[in-house]
Amino acid sequence: MKKKNYLRGNFNKLTSFFKPLPLTALFLIVFITNGYSINNTVNNNGEINLQQLTITGTVLSDGIGGPIPGVSILVKGTNIGAITDFDGNYTINVPSSNSILVFSYIGFTTIEKKVDNNKTINVTLTADVSELDEIIVVGYGVAKKETLTGAVEQVKAKAFQDLAVTSPALALQGRTPGLTVTRSSTRPGGEGLGFLIRGQTSVNGIAPLLVIDGVPALNNSSFSDMNPDDVDNISILKGASASVYGARGAGGVIIVTTKKGKGEVKVEASTVLRHSTIGIRPPSPTMQEYASVYLEAASNDVNPYYFFWDKESLEGMAAGEERIYENGILGNIYLGNGNLFDQMYGSTFSNQHNVSISGSTEKSDFRLSGGYDHNVGGLKTTYDGAKKYNFAFNYNYNVNEKLKIGVNVSYFHKHFSGPSTGLGSESLSYDAPLFLAKNPFGQWNSNFGVIGGGNNAIASTVDGGRTNNKTEQFRFIFSTNYKITDNLSFAGTFSMARDLKNYQKYVLNVPTYGWFGNKANSSVNTTPYIYEEKDEGTYKNIKGALNYKKSFGNHNLTGTLAIEAELKTSKNLDVRRDGFEDYGVYDLNLAPIDVNVATNGGAGTYGFYGYIARVNYDYKQKYLLELQGRRDGSSRFAEGYKFFNYGSLTAGWVVSNEDFLSDNNILSFLKLRGGYGDLGSVSGVSTFGYLQGVSFGTSLFGQNAGWQTTATANGAFSTSTSWEHIQNQEIGLDFRLLNDKVYGSVDFFKKKNIGMLIRGKVAEVFGATEPVTNLGVMKTTGWEVVLGWRDRVGEFDLGISANMSDTRNVLLSYEGRESDNADLGFAEGLNLASDGNLREGDPLNSFYMYKTDGFFKDEAEVDAYYAKYTETSAGIIPSEFNADTRLRPGDVKIVDTNGDNVIDDKDLEYKGDNSSHYVFGVNLDATYKNWDISAFFQGTLQQNVHRTGYLAYPFARRYTNHTSAFLGQTWTEENPTAEFPRTSTNYLRAAWNYEYSDFMLQNNAYVRLKSLVIGYNFEDLKIGKTNINKLRVYFSGNDLFELSTLDDGYDPESTSNTNGSNASYPFMRTWAFGVKVSL
- 666-694 confidence digits (pLDDT tens): 999 999 999 999 999 988 787 777 777 77
Helix or strand (DSSP H, E) at 461: helix 457-463
Report the pLDDT value the prediction gives residue 78, as an integer from 0 to 100: 81
**Considering 859, 893, 913, which residue would you say is the last residue of a domain?**
913
**Considering 95, 130, 165, which residue would you say is the last residue of a domain?**
130
CB 256, CB 212: distance < 8 Å: yes
Residue scoring higher pLDDT (36 or 478): 478
Helix ranges (H only) for 681-780 are none
- Among 596-600, 827-831, 1057-1061, 1065-1069, the minimum mean pLDDT is found in 827-831
For strand 194-197 and strand 231-238, is the pairing parallel, antiparallel, or unpaired? unpaired
Residue 509 CA from chain centroid, whole number: 36
Report the pLDDT value the prediction gives residue 874, as an integer from 0 to 100: 55
Instruction: pLDDT band for 760, please (50, 70, 90 cuts).
Output: confident
Structural domains of the chain, count? 2
C-beta atoms surrounding 882 within 10 Å:
12
CA distance 493 to 481: 9
Contacts of 193 (CB under 8 A, 6+ apart): 167, 169, 170, 181, 182, 183, 220, 224
CA distance 72 to 793: 7
Print the domain residue range for 859. 846-913
CA distance 775 to 1025: 73
- In 590-737, DSSP assigns E strands to 597-619, 623-634, 643-654, 667-681, 694-701, 706-713, 724-737
- Among 233-237, 396-400, 505-509, 689-693, the minimum mean pLDDT is found in 689-693
User: CA-CA distances (angstroms) from residue 868 to 862, 887, 895?
Assistant: 10, 14, 12
Report the pLDDT value the prediction gives residue 65, as an integer from 0 to 100: 59
Report which DSSP code applies to 106: T
Over 793-839, what HEC string results?
A: ECCEEEEEEEEEEEEEEEEEECCCCCCCHHHCHHHHCCCCCCCCCCC
- Listing DSSP states for 526-570 in one string gives SS-EEEEEEEEEEEEEEEEEEEEEEEETTEEEEEEEEEEEEEEEE
Report which DSSP code applies to 206: P
- Residue 878 domain flag: yes
Q: Is 967 helix (H, G, I), strand (E, B) or coil?
A: coil
pLDDT at 106 over 80: no
Report the pLDDT value the prediction gives residue 832, as an integer from 0 to 100: 54
Residue 760 CA from chain centroid, whole number: 32
- Residue 898 domain flag: yes
pTM value?
A: 0.85
CA distance 414 to 473: 9
- Residue 945 domain flag: no
- Listing DSSP states for 232-276 in one string gives EEEEEEEGGGGGGGGGG-TT-EEEEEE----SS-EEEEEEEEEEE
Report the pLDDT value the prediction gives residue 129, as an integer from 0 to 100: 52
Interior angle at CA 430, CA 428 and CA 435, nearest 5:
65
Residue scoring higher pLDDT (115 or 164): 115
- Listing DSSP states for 361-416 in one string gives -SSEEEEEEEEEEEEE-SB-SS--EEEEEEEEEEEEEE-SSSEEEEEEEEEEEEEE
- 936-960 confidence digits (pLDDT tens): 999 999 999 988 877 888 888 877 8
Average model confidence (pLDDT) across the chain = 86
Instruction: pLDDT band for 133, please (50, 70, 90 cuts).
Output: low
**Considering 95, 115, 130, which residue would you say is the last residue of a domain?**
130
Report the pLDDT value the prediction gives residue 966, as an integer from 0 to 100: 86
Report the pLDDT value the prediction gives residue 414, as an integer from 0 to 100: 97
pLDDT at 817 over 60: no
Contacts of 326 (CB under 8 A, 6+ apart): 332
For strand 135-138 and strand 141-144, is the pairing parallel, antiparallel, or unpaired? antiparallel
CA distance 1061 to 1052: 12
Environment class of residue 425 by beta-carbon count within 10 Å: exposed (0-12), middle (13-18) or buried (19+)?
middle
Report the pLDDT value the prediction gives residue 50, as an integer from 0 to 100: 45
Helix ranges (H only) for 86-164 are 129-132
Report the pLDDT value the prediction gives residue 6, as an integer from 0 to 100: 35
Report the pLDDT value the prediction gives residue 1051, as an integer from 0 to 100: 86
CA distance 151 to 670: 15
Q: List residues bridging with 649 in a β-sheet.
A: 627, 676
CB 976, CB 857: distance < 8 Å: yes
Residue range 770-791: mean pLDDT, rounded: 93
- Residue 13 domain flag: no
Instruction: pLDDT band for 509, please (50, 70, 90 cuts).
Output: very high
Torsions phi, psi of 467, nearest 5?
-120, 130
Residue scoring higher pLDDT (1009 or 988): 1009
- Listing DSSP states for 918-938 in one string gives EEEEEEEEEEETTEEEEEEEE
Residue scoring higher pLDDT (897 or 16): 897
Contacts of 490 (CB under 8 A, 6+ apart): 481, 482, 484, 544, 545, 546, 547
Instruction: pLDDT band for 649, please (50, 70, 90 cuts).
Output: very high
Report the pLDDT value the prediction gives residue 35, as an integer from 0 to 100: 37
Report the pLDDT value the prediction gives residue 439, as an integer from 0 to 100: 94
Counting every residue written for the chain, the total comes to 1079
CB 853, CB 893: distance < 8 Å: yes
CA distance 1054 to 1057: 7
- Residue 524 domain flag: no
Q: Is 907 helix (H, G, I), strand (E, B) or coil?
A: helix
Instruction: pLDDT band for 46, please (50, 70, 90 cuts).
Output: very low
Residue scoring higher pLDDT (129 or 686): 686
- Among 82-86, 228-232, 626-630, 635-639, the minimum mean pLDDT is found in 82-86
Q: List residues bridging with 93 in a β-sheet.
A: 54
Report the pLDDT value the prediction gives residue 856, as an integer from 0 to 100: 95
Report the pLDDT value the prediction gives residue 18, as an integer from 0 to 100: 39
CA distance 329 to 447: 13
Report the pLDDT value the prediction gives residue 125, as an integer from 0 to 100: 85
For strand 209-212 and strand 253-258, is the pairing parallel, antiparallel, or unpaired? parallel
- Residue 360 domain flag: no
pLDDT at 531 over 60: yes
CA distance 661 to 427: 66
Residue scoring higher pLDDT (282 or 493): 493
- Residue 551 domain flag: no
- Residue 76 domain flag: yes
User: CA-CA distances (angstroms) from residue 687 to 574, 640, 771?
Assistant: 20, 16, 14
CB 403, CB 364: distance < 8 Å: no
Q: Is 136 helix (H, G, I), strand (E, B) or coil?
A: strand
Residue range 404-427: mean pLDDT, rounded: 91
CB 240, CB 677: distance < 8 Å: yes
CATH number at residue 108: 2.60.40.4130
Report the pLDDT value the prediction gives residue 335, as an integer from 0 to 100: 93
- 590-634 confidence digits (pLDDT tens): 888 878 888 889 899 989 999 999 999 999 999 999 999 999 999
Residue range 986-994: mean pLDDT, rounded: 88
CA distance 945 to 958: 23
